[in-house]
């Protein structure tokens, strides 16, 4: 244990990843918290709480405190962060040496939302808190050298937001953040099942369908999956078999939104950087990029080679941790507490 650790946190809508300098990613848990309403006591955090989603009795609520990439329940986010930081650092060490923490935020967040993240991290036991934009963290994590005078395009499809950015010289040149990502894909599947099969399925079932048979580009070989839900006409449980071709139809709308956003970023990119991107390709990160054929579809629509990063899910957390090592190179893209205070004074 060094004197005060450096911790990188990917505070995502769907999951929280924690990176510790020298150890790599030490924690990967869903961002779900279960609370007893009567006593306001934390019952479970992470995977254990996720299992409770949609299955709790009246006095227990399983909450996802982040929605669409930003904090929707401040108090619970703070408690969740505290729990995770304690889990990776140990309580005694936290009391002696407070860590420096770098948290990533979607590229379009407001000052108020940034403030909320900084405050939550400080309350959870940070000595200093820095914020970094998600696409920049994703690019660093994917192994792109962002400090060069050369354009790189990153598409980070998370749980709550899809962040698309063109990065050069350690900063963002053009970026957009849309609130269409993993969660919206799940919602689209729920809607489709309801409309087409008259079956109501839960959030978790929709997510399993997305992971197993989700499709954005026609598959060579069709894949099938048995899905259980409640029949809306009879009100009884029912099992049906759903094919990947149906998923193609179900996910059409949200995937189209992602492609339009990619298009709009490319339209606003300066010509020199656009030339770099068409030469080097587009890098995709985040859990949403693992949907079958999404890379092929974007490649077909843009005519630019698309590469999925090696460890797509952990890219942002890795980048957040690595960013703490070389703060100088990315000073422009990092928000710290001091910067926030100075802004308010002006």
Structure tokens at 329: 């190179």
Give the three-state DSSP class for 13.
coil
Residues contacting residue 344 through CB under 8 Å, at least 6 positions apart: none
Q: What are phi and psi of 230, to 5 degrees?
A: -105, 125
Asked if the domains at 6-136+316-345 and 182-252 fall in one CATH topology, the answer is no
pLDDT at 94: 62
Q: pTM value?
A: 0.85
pLDDT at 344: 59
Residues contacting residue 283 through CB under 8 Å, at least 6 positions apart: 138, 139, 142, 144, 152, 153, 154, 155, 306, 307, 308, 309
Structure tokens at 185: 């894909």
Cα separations (Å) of 59 from 49, 56, 63, 202?
14, 8, 13, 20
Residues contacting residue 260 through CB under 8 Å, at least 6 positions apart: none
Structure tokens at 129: 């808190």
pLDDT at 204: 85
Q: Class assignment of domain 182-252?
A: alpha beta
Chain centroid to CA 153: 17
Residue by residue, pLDDT tens for the chain (346 residues) are 445 678 888 888 888 888 887 788 888 888 889 988 888 888 888 888 888 877 778 888 888 888 887 788 888 888 888 888 888 887 666 666 778 888 888 887 888 888 888 888 888 888 888 888 888 888 988 888 888 888 899 999 988 889 999 999 888 899 998 999 989 999 999 999 999 999 999 888 998 999 999 999 998 999 999 999 999 999 999 999 999 999 999 999 999 999 999 999 999 999 999 999 999 999 999 988 999 999 999 999 999 999 999 888 888 888 888 887 776 555 655 666 556 655 655 5
The residue ranges of every structural domain in the chain are 6-136+316-345, 144-180+255-313, 182-252
Residue whose C-alpha is closest to residue 74's, from 106, 121, 126? 121
pLDDT at 65: 86
Classify residue 14 as exposed, middle or buried by CB count within 10 Å of its CB (0-12, 13-18, 19+): buried
Q: How far apart are CA 311 and CA 296, in angstroms?
A: 18
pLDDT at 161: 87
Residue whose C-alpha is closest to residue 154's, from 319, 285, 271, 9? 285
Decide: 318 and 311 in contact? Cβ < 8 Å.
yes
Structure tokens at 187: 């919602």
6-136+316-345 under CATH 3.30.420.40, yes or no: yes
Length of the chain: 346
Decide: 160 and 189 in contact? Cβ < 8 Å.
no
Q: How far apart are CA 49 and CA 26, in angstroms?
A: 19
The domain covering 144-180+255-313 belongs, at the CATH homologous superfamily level, to ATPase, nucleotide binding domain (3.30.420.40)
Q: How far apart are CA 309 and CA 290, in angstroms?
A: 10
DSSP conformation letters of 205-243: HHHHHHHHH-BSS--SS--EEEEEEEETTT-SEEEEEEE
Classify residue 280 as exposed, middle or buried by CB count within 10 Å of its CB (0-12, 13-18, 19+): middle
Q: What element of type H or E holds 153?
A: strand 152-157
Q: How far apart are CA 210 and CA 288, in angstroms?
A: 9
């Amino acid at each position: 244990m060094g004197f005060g650790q450096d911790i990188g946190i990917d505070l995502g809508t769907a999951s929280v990843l924690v990176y510790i300098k020298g150890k790599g990613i030490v924690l990967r848990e869903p961002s779900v918290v279960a609370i007893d309403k009567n006593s306001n006591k934390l019952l479970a955090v992470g995977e254990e709480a996720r299992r409770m989603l949609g299955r709790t009795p009246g006095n227990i609520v399983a909450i996802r405190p982040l929605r669409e990439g930003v904090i929707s329940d401040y108090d619970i986010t703070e408690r969740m962060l505290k729990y995770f930081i304690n889990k990776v650092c140990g309580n005694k060490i936290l009391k002696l040496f407070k860590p420096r923490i770098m948290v990533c935020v979607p590229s379009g967040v407001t000052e108020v939302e940034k403030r909320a993240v900084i405050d939550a991290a400080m309350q959870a036991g940070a000595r200093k808190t820095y914020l970094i934009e998600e696409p920049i963290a994703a690019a660093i994590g994917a192994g792109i050298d962002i400090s060069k005078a050369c354009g790189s395009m990153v598409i980070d499809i998370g749980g709550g937001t899809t962040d698309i950015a063109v990065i050069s010289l350690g900063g963002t040149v053009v970026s957009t953040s849309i609130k269409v990502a993993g969660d919206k894909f799940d919602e689209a599947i729920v809607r489709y099942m309801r409309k087409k099969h008259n079956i109501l399925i839960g959030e978790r079932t929709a997510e399993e369908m997305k992971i197993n048979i989700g499709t954005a580009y026609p598959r060579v070989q069709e894949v099938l999956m048995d899905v259980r839900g409640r029949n809306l006409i009879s009100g009884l449980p029912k099992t049906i078999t759903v094919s990947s071709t149906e998923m193609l139809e179900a996910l059409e709308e949200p995937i189209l939104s992602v492609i339009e956003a990619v298009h709009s970023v490319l339209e606003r990119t300066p010509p020199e950087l656009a030339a770099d991107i068409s030469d080097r390709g587009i890098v995709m990160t985040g859990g949403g990029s693992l949907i079958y054929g999404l890379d092929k579809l974007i490649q077909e629509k843009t005519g630019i080679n698309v590469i999925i990063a090696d460890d797509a899910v952990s890219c942002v957390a890795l980048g957040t941790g690595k960013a703490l090592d070389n703060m100088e190179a990315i000073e422009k893209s990092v928000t710290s507490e001091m910067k926030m205070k100075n802004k308010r004074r002006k």
